[in-house]
Structure 1
Amino acid sequence: MPPSLSLPEWIVLTLLDEAPAHGFAIAALTAEDGDVGRVWQVPRPIVYRAVDRLTAAGLLVMAETQAGHRGPQRSILGATPAGAAAVREWLGRPVAHVRDLRSEFLVKLALLTRRGGSLTDLVSAQRAVIAPLEPALARRRAEAPGFAAILAAWRHENARAALRFLDGI
């Protein structure tokens, strides 16, 4: 089991498992206008920090070096077998909270789509996590007083919207 990774670290690891690359290429993919950055941006310094941490954890390895066009050599990194296994497990694991659908879950969908993978298993697993929450949140909404009722209404409506979203995929 890999160490606890942040969402940016999972994104970097997954992209480098998809295809070996250098940090600058990953930073381009996770920039605001990048393929993955449209969902979740990872600034260049965070990409390089993630690369260092993932390498130290044995999840990435330098595959080769390439001469830079106008600068130093670039290290081409790829996932180790342990890194690849961690990515497969992470991409199939649903998020625990409705609030994480906007971040981690959407990133997983984007990354799975980039790989040409099926979304069916992840969406089904995610629905299985969210579906039992909806009736519990409806009860809490009906019973809560004051601001707790407002908060419960917000959470209930988000769970209902999440289920509609998952059913629409």
Structure 2
Amino acid sequence: MSGSGGSSLTLTEGAVLGLLVRRPRHGFALAREFTPGSRIGRVLTVRRPLVYRALNALEGRGLVVSGEPESTPLGPSRSPKQVTAAGREAFDGWLATPVRHVRDVRLELLLKLALLDDLGRSMRPLLEAQRRALAPVHEALTDSGPAGSGFDALLGIWRTETTSAVMRFLDEAIRRHCDRPSELG
């Protein structure tokens, strides 16, 4: 599954890179970041084997490298993973790309916003880019109104209302969370 922002990173790969940009760590520690009660896990829950699969894929593409093995009293030695320059570039591109579909806001956009916040980066550029990306869809839906009858009409109402709610969310997020002095840089 590719990210919807035109990147070759999956959601899990993007999240793993973001967590590694913050600081190198081994797979087991990364997997804990995706548990339901964790900050990232509240948006995207991923089972440990899938975190390791993402790490292996990233390493295979040269976006992540293994550091020196560290011994631990809890089990076998572990090698912390680090992001390469190519990995950082791929992550930054993925992070800055708005989602293409309203349905991707719940997972991908919120994940990107959480990672931006974790990294101490401004959310404003992504929120504004996301608003620009979805504005034509919103305008087309609100201008035409729901068409058809029966289920088609209900689906049209769903799409219009969902898109309107996302646009209100983006407006409020820009207004409320990006007008802080720390966000204006």
TM interval, shorter chain, is over 0.9
Query: 1:55 pairs with 32, 39, 59, which one?
Result: 59
The equivalent residue for 1:90 is 94
Alpha-carbon RMSD: 1.5
The equivalent residue for 2:21 is 17
The amino acid across from 2:161 in the alignment is E
The amino acid across from 1:30 in the alignment is F
The amino acid across from 2:90 in the alignment is A
Unaligned runs of 5+ in 1: none
The equivalent residue for 1:144 is 148
Output aligned runs, 1:5-154, within 5 Å.
Answer: 5-154=9-158
Unaligned runs of 5+ in 2: 1-6, 174-185
Residue deviations 1:20-76, cap 9 Å, x none?
A: 111111111111111210111111111111111110011100122210222110110
How far the C-alpha of 1:8 sits from its partner, in A, is 1.0
TM-score in terms of structure 1 length? 0.94
The amino acid across from 2:162 in the alignment is N
Contact 2:9 2:94 in 1 (8 A): no
Contact 1:141 1:149 in 2 (8 A): no
How far the C-alpha of 1:134 sits from its partner, in A, is 1.2
How far the C-alpha of 1:18 sits from its partner, in A, is 1.9
Contact 1:64 1:77 in 2 (8 A): no
The amino acid across from 1:132 in the alignment is P
TM-score in terms of structure 2 length? 0.86
The aligned length equals: 168
Bigger drift between 158-167 and 145-154 goes to 145-154
The amino acid across from 2:72 in the alignment is G
CA distance in 1, matches of 2:22, 2:124: 20
How far the C-alpha of 1:5 sits from its partner, in A, is 2.5
How far the C-alpha of 1:145 sits from its partner, in A, is 3.0
Contact 2:64 2:82 in 1 (8 A): yes
Bigger drift between 157-166 and 56-65 goes to 56-65
The equivalent residue for 1:160 is 164
Identity %, equivalent residues: 45
